[in-house]
Each structure stands twice: as structure tokens, then as C-alpha cells.
A and B are shown apart, each in its own frame.
Chain A
Amino acid sequence: MIRIDSTSAVPPYEQVRSQLAAQIADRVLAVGTRLPTVRQLAADLGLAVNTVARAYRELEEARMVETRGRAGTFVSAAGERSRIRAEQAARQYASTAVGLGLTASEALEIVRAALANAAGSPT
């Protein structure tokens, strides 16, 4: 379920986006699950339609959901595949780090630096 905190400093669209993203990542929402329509979710949460539409648009850009015309918005398999690939890469990195004799904190520090570098570099 999605909860909106009207007293929070986080904008409502970000609250909707982050909660849906977390549920998709945690597989609470399985691949192929149909999300409520933008209008339905906006009415349920007492938000403007554009607010929910923006959250859905950002999820779609992140390839976590896909819109299939009039059939609705569904949790995308692309997001699931990305997660599986990331997990495989993480396992490979972990075994390499262990093989090289790195400690867990050293290995995590390298990952953090790499993530910071990736986030800072233009795409």
C-alpha cells in the first residue's frame, strides 16, 4: 500500500514514486502486476492527477514500470532483469574481493567510491 504524509517535506510525487520503487525492488509488487490507474491512485490519495502522473512517468523512465496502452501500467520485467544482473555482478565482485584478500569494509568502500563516481559522471 502507499501512504502519503501531508506534513512531510518530501514532495507527494516523490513519496508515491519512492514507495512504488521500493515495493517493486522488494518484489512486493511482482513483475506483471497492474498498478492502479493514475486517476484512481490520485483519487485514493487525495492528490492531483498530475502529481501521480509525474511519479509514474519517472518510474517508467527508470524502466520499473511500462504502460501498455489502455490496458494500464504494469510492473516491468526490465526492472527485474536489471536487478538480477546487478545481483550477479555483486556476487562476482564479492568473490573477486574475497580472492584478493580485501576486507568487507574495504570492498564496500570501493563500491561506494565507484557509485559516487558513476552518479557524478554524465550519462
Chain B
Amino acid sequence: MGYIDAWLARHQGFDLGPRELLLARLSLRQRVRRLQLKITLPATIILAALYVVFLCMPPASSETNLPALGVYFALAMVLTIATWFTAHCHRTGERHIARDLTARIARSEAVRLRTMLGPWTSTAVAVSYGGGLVVGGVAAVMASSQPDRITAVVFLIGLVVLGGMTALALKHVLHRPALAVDPGSLLADDLLRTEDARGLAAPLLPMLLAGSVMLAGQHRSGTSTLLDGFVIVCSIFVAVAALKEPNQPRVVVPR
């Protein structure tokens, strides 16, 4: 089952506006997803292989495996550039769709990020980024050795960069023009926006970052114990948010 069929099956029974508009939007998203996969998959495989190779090599002078960290950041950079590029393609495609709309409707209330994400996802985001900053800060201050401090600082810098990029991307999702011609298509727009926002805000990157710096540290210490705890707490919040807030229409409109 393709992306479009799966999406339509998930939201069966709801009035989501004109079928042509919905299909145009979904097929654009499908193309964008495929494009993103084409860019990121080869880069991810190559960089992940390099990362594993560097992790297997013993570090030369310090206990922190800097080449492995470097590869990790290259991977993060490739993923980020791919995300921005595909987001640009998505924006251009949506502008083309908007040009063909003869009527437009809009919400008369401002969309709030917290409302769109839902309380559980918002909490998971706050815990992963806010909690990550606290954990990284404590680890950097309390570090007993230089490699431990480097690991904590690398984690903190990575978290700030990731947080900034995520905030920018979320801002774009929140403020992008609604493509709607009736209440049904406005509901579909809400759903797509919510999916995008939750996808972006999902605190998987901070967890991946914590895991990577732990691996690059290559030895058990107070820092890695703190990061272990951070990953476990984040995982619990992510799981609860996914269970409590599935992406379903909030308003049931019979066909």
C-alpha cells in the first residue's frame, strides 16, 4: 500500500474536502518523500559505515573518538540540508496548487503550536530539548575527566543546533498558508500540518545525538550514565505521546 492509499485509509469516513485537491497535496508529499529518501539514503549508508569504522578504531591521543563525532556531524548536516531542500520543493509545489484554487477559506483564529502538537507531544519536546540542556550542562560541569567534558560539550552544542533548526522548521509549518476551499479541506490541512509538526518535533534526533556521543566516548563514565538516563526518559515520553496522540481528525464530520 502506497503513501496516498495508506493516508486515505487512515482517515476514511471523514469529509476532507474536494478529492482532487487532497490527491494533489498527497501526491506532492509522496514525491517530496521519495526525493528526500533518494538524497539521504546513500549518504546515510556511506556515513553510517564510516562511523562504525571509526568507532572500531582505537582513538589515537584522547579517549574521545573525534573522527567518529565528525562523521556523525557530517551525517546530521546531510540530513539537515536534505530536509531544507525537500521543504523548499514542497513549498514550491504547494504554491502551484494554491494558484489553481478559485476559492479560499482560512481559520479566523491563530494556530497555536501547543494546540497543534498536543499536550503530550509538547511535553516530550520540552523534556527532550530542555531536559537535554540540563543533563548536558550538569555533565559538562561535573565531568571528572577531559574526554567526559568534551563528550558533554559536543552533546550540548549538537542539541542547541538541532533545537534551533527544529524551531525554524516548526515555525515554517505553523505559518505556511492553508490550502482550503471548504471546511473539509481545512480539516485535511489541519491534519497534514499536525502530522508535519509532530514529525519534526519528535525528539528522536536528541536521543540519536545522545546515543552517538555516548558511543564516541567509548567508555563508561558519569556522563554516559546521565545520557543513558536521558535517552530512557525521552523514550518513555515519546512512546506515551505516540499512544495518547495519534494523528486523527479532531472534529468528526459525517460525509
Question: Which A residues contact B (CB, under 8 angstroms)?
Answer: 1-6, 19-20, 23, 28-29, 33-37, 39-41, 43-46, 72
Contacts and interface: CB of A to CB of B under 8 A. Distances in A.
Contact of A44 (B102, B103, B178, B183): B178
Contact of B104 (A4, A23, A28): A4
A44 B108 contact: no
A33 B108 CA distance: 9
A79 to B, nearest CB: 15
A4 B182 CA distance: 11
19 contacts: A1-B105, A2-B105, A2-B106, A2-B107, A3-B104, A34-B109, A35-B109, A35-B110, A36-B106, A36-B111, A37-B175, A39-B175, A43-B177, A44-B106, A44-B177, A44-B178, A45-B104, A46-B104, A46-B177
Contacts of B101: 46
Contacts, number: 63
B110 A36 contact: yes
A44 B181 CA distance: 10
A36 B103 contact: no
Dominant secondary structure at the A interface: mixed
B20 to A, nearest CB: 18
A6 B183 contact: no
B177 A36 contact: no
A28 B108 CA distance: 10
Nearest to A74: B110
Contacts of B110: 34-37, 40, 72
B17 to A, nearest CB: 12
A122 B161 CA distance: 60
A9 to B, nearest CB: 16
Contacts of A3: 103-105
B204 interface: no
Contacts of B124: none
B108 to A, nearest CB: 5
Interface of B: 98, 101-112, 175-178, 180, 183, 186
Contacts of B112: 34
A106 to B, nearest CB: 39
Contact of B108 (A36, A39, A43): A36
A16 to B, nearest CB: 9
Nearest to A28: B108
Given A1-B183, A1-B186, A44 B104 contact: yes
A1 B107 contact: yes
A34 B101 CA distance: 27
A6 B106 contact: no
B187 to A, nearest CB: 11
Contact of A45 (B106, B109, B111, B176): B106
Given A1-B186, A44-B178, A20 B104 contact: no
B110 to A, nearest CB: 4
Nearest to B99: A46
A39 B176 CA distance: 10
Contact of A20 (B105, B108, B176): B108
Max count, chain A CB within 10 A of own CB: residue among B101, B109, B111, B183: B109
B93 to A, nearest CB: 16
Given A28-B108, A46-B177, 15 more contacts: A1-B107, A2-B108, A3-B105, A4-B103, A4-B105, A6-B103, A29-B108, A36-B109, A39-B175, A40-B110, A43-B175, A43-B177, A44-B177, A44-B180, A46-B101
